[in-house]
Every structure is written in structure tokens, then in C-alpha cells.
Amino acid sequence: MTRVNEILDFNFPSVTFQQAAKNIFSSNLIQIQELRVAKLNQITQEFGEQPFKMSNNALIPQVFRKFKTISGIGRNLFDNFEIRELRTLTFSLSYSERGKSQIFNNPKELDFVFETLQASWRDSYLIGLIDCYLKNWDTQNTESREKLGKFIFEKLNQYEGSRTVLKSLKSNIRFFNSINGDVFLGYELVIKDKQIRESTKYLSIPESWFTYPYFSKVIVAYYEKRKSEVVQFIDDLYNALIEHNNNITNKRLVSKLIIQANANEFASMQDKIKSIAFQLVGDPGIASNWALFENATENEKADLRNARSILNEWITRQFINVFFEKCINDTRRKKFWLKYAKEISQFRVVGSSYVKSLLLNDNRIAEYVPPRFSNTNSRKDCNSALMFIMKNHLFIEFSDAGAFYAYKLSNPNAPSIEEQYFYSTSILKTPTMNSLIYRTGRYVNKIYDEGRLGHNDGELGWEAFAEYWIKNKMEINV
């Protein structure tokens, strides 16, 4: 009978295929892969399997509940936990769930953990304990932190194994002292001419640990030691903050950067610092972005408030410049109000879609426009207004040359600077209001708490009388 391969004229001997399969991968490629596998095996032998993290996070709630139950009745834990569960327990210290607090926050429970681990000690337990210690570096619970640190230090000092990470932690134990250990590390990195992002490599610990709160003041200390050279390493510092990914650190460091950039010798950095501040902390016009953080020192609180005020002033100055250039083109009014930029706590531009597009097309302020702009009913109207608050007054400057208005914030008829929409800029005017100042020649006859002041000159320019009113009614002297 004729065979199928003869009918189809196929002539592919199986022996040929078998031989060809053996040669699919070149000997060079095979050698490379074998070297890589050998390297991985060497790392596994040196560090142990998965030494840096908890391999099964799903076990943490289970072990946590088991511990809480057993510790509540005072039974010996070692009789009830397997070695794997004890290792998991070290990663459970910062865990909590509804109705059950963290083990870390209960010093008596923490002592119970130490006794249990001691009864069946494994060096691998150190990784979970150190994980907890560095995560709770800024905790208010200093008693538990000190207990945990003392236990870790005792075990590290006794360690005689070969794991690189534990050997490094032992030799660098001074950097993990809760009293300025982090600051000493930041300083040493500068002295050794290391970049801040090399800190985990310098300590021979996992890069992932760089996100721990421990590194917050390491980064700040590094900056403080090198701040005179900040122009040279600002990009590395920014990248470090991105990797660290900690809002408290962002506030600590960005506030210092803003204050430094406010000095004349670092003024060239203001645009870069402003961009970093918006990205990492947020718009200073939103109070919650710049809220004080837990455990902030008095100096940190003062820095944060000062930095927010400075950042707001930078943005205000740019808006005043752009508004009076693009929307009004009045250099006198621009120059006058720029003097008071530091006193302006909040501002808003009101105008048509056309006006908004003018501002959005200016790179100096484009990213700050949307939350500070209120639309009018018109699409193409060129009329616009600048609203701003100084102390207890709302000021409004208009694109026409008439007058500016000053309303007391307590006046129920005063426009709201929080409004997102106004039918037109004309509704912001109250033509029946008194003049702020009644004058004869260069002399002032009477002043009012609120009203309007025209931009018309007499024997003196309008600026002189506006400055007089602000100085006498608002006690602002610039």
C-alpha cells in the first residue's frame, strides 16, 4: 500500500528534525543563559530565598488575627505557630483591621512578639522587623519604636551570617539610630560624593526600601549639606523625591527649596522650583495641599507656611504681569499692583473664552490659569477683570480705564472671588459707590472704607492717592 508521505511527496525524516532541534539555540546563547542562571543561583545562596519582602501577603491578616486571639488569652505562641507563620508575624506588626489595632502600637504585645521570636530565633525574622522599624520611623509612638530598635540592634550585633543585606545593616547600624541616624547618613553621602539616589546602594539594601519614611530626613539632610550647590543637583533631588514618593518629604524639602529660591542669588531657579512645587505638593491656592503634617516640628510648620506664601507671591506676580500686558496693556497699573503682590492672598481673572485663551497661550502662567479663571457669558468679549484679596478687602481692576473698586469682605453685596461664572464683568461694578478718596488738588479731604478710585491724574498721579488709602485704611506700607 502506498504511504501517505509518498502520496504527498513529503520526505522529512524524523532523525533530521531531531538533529535540527538540537541546534535551534547557538552554543554562545546557551552559554550566556547558563551564566545567568548560575548568577541567580549564587544570589539565592548568598541572600537566601526572598529575603527582602513578604512573599505571601495574604497570610498577614490570617497570622495577625491568630496572634491577637492567642495573645488575648496569654498562651505561649511558639506552641501554636509554625516557623513560616512567625516570619509572617514580623511583617504583620504594622497591619491593622477594623476593631483591631496594630501590634506595633501596643508595647505589651510587642514584648510578647519578641519573647516568641526569641524562643525559635531565625535570622530571617530580622527583615520583617527592620521593615516595620523603617516604616514607622516618624511615628508618634516612640516607646514602641525604641523597643523595636533595641531588639533589632541586639540581633544585628549578634549576627555572624553571610547575607549581604544583614552584614551591611550591622556595619552601618549607626545610621539607624533613632536620634539623627538618618541625618548622619545624609551628611555622609555628601562627604563621600554620592548622589542621594545611591543611598540604598551605599547601604547594600534593596532599592525598594527608598520609599520608606526613614529616608525622608536622609534626603532633607543631604540637601541641607549641599544646598549652596543646589543648582547642580536639583534634577537628581527631584528624581529622588519622585522615587521616594512621600508627601511629607515633599512638603519638608519643597518648602526649603522655595525659601532658598526666593533669595536673589537663586532667583534663576524660581520657575523650576515652582513647577516642582505644583507637581509634588500642589497649588498654594488650595489650603489642603499645604496643610501641616503629623509630627511636624515648629521649624517645619514655619517653613511650610512661609513657602506657601512665597509661592503664592511668585504666581501672583506673574499673573499681574501677564494680565496687564495681554488684557490691559497698562504699564502704570502693572507697576503699581506689583508692589503689593506680597500682600495678595488670593486672586482670580474674570473674562470671556477669548481672554482665557490669551492667558492659556502664555507659558509663564498657563498651568495656573484654570483654577483661577471665571468665565463670562461672552465668547469673544475682550473685557476682563482681575479680582484679588488683600487683608479684609476685595479689589477689582478692569480692562477699561475707568476705576478700580475696593469692597470690604464683610459687605454682603461684594462679589465673591470663589464664583466660577459671572454673566459679565460689568456686574462686578457698583457705580453708586463712594469714591475711596475725595481730594482737592494734592490734598485729601475724606476717605472711605470701601469704594472706587479712578485712574485719572490731577496735580498728583492716581497712584499717590491709591497708595495713601492703602497705607491709612489697610495699614499696608510698601
pLDDT tens-digit map of 208-235? 999 999 999 999 999 999 999 999 999 9
Lowest mean pLDDT among 19-28, 53-62, 270-279, 317-326: 19-28
Return the pLDDT at 478.
85
The grid cell for 296 is 511636624
Tens digit of each residue's pLDDT (9 = 90 or more) over 429-455: 988 899 999 988 888 899 999 999 999
Taking the C-alpha atoms of residue 99 and residue 64, their distance in angstroms, rounded to an integer, is 12
* Count of C-beta atoms within a 10 Å radius of residue 204: 14
Q: Give the torsion through C-alpha atoms of 75, 77, 78, 80, to 10 deg.
A: 90
The answer to whether 386 and 432 are in contact (CB under 8 A) is: no
284-290's contacts with Cβ under 8 Å and 24+ in sequence apart are 284/308, 284/309, 284/311, 284/312, 284/315, 285/312, 285/346, 285/371, 285/372, 286/371, 290/251
pLDDT tens digit sequence for 149-173: 999 999 999 999 999 889 999 999 9
Q: What angle do CA 195, 199, 202 make, to 5 degrees?
A: 105
Reported as a pLDDT band with limits 50, 70 and 90, residue 13 is: low
| Each residue's pLDDT tens digit, 248-306 | 999 999 999 999 999 999 999 999 999 999 999 999 988 899 999 988 999 999 999 99
Strand partners, 385: 350, 398
Output the average pLDDT for the chain: 88
Q: Report the first-to-last Cα separation within the chain, whole angstroms.
A: 111
Query: What does the alpha-carbon distance between residue 208 and residue 35 come to, in Å, rounded to a whole number?
Result: 26
Q: To which residue does cell 464683568 refer?
A: 425
- Whether the per-residue pLDDT at 21 is higher than 70: the answer is no
Q: What is the average pLDDT across 66-94?
A: 82
Share of the chain above pLDDT 90, in %: 72
d(CA 372, CA 359): 11
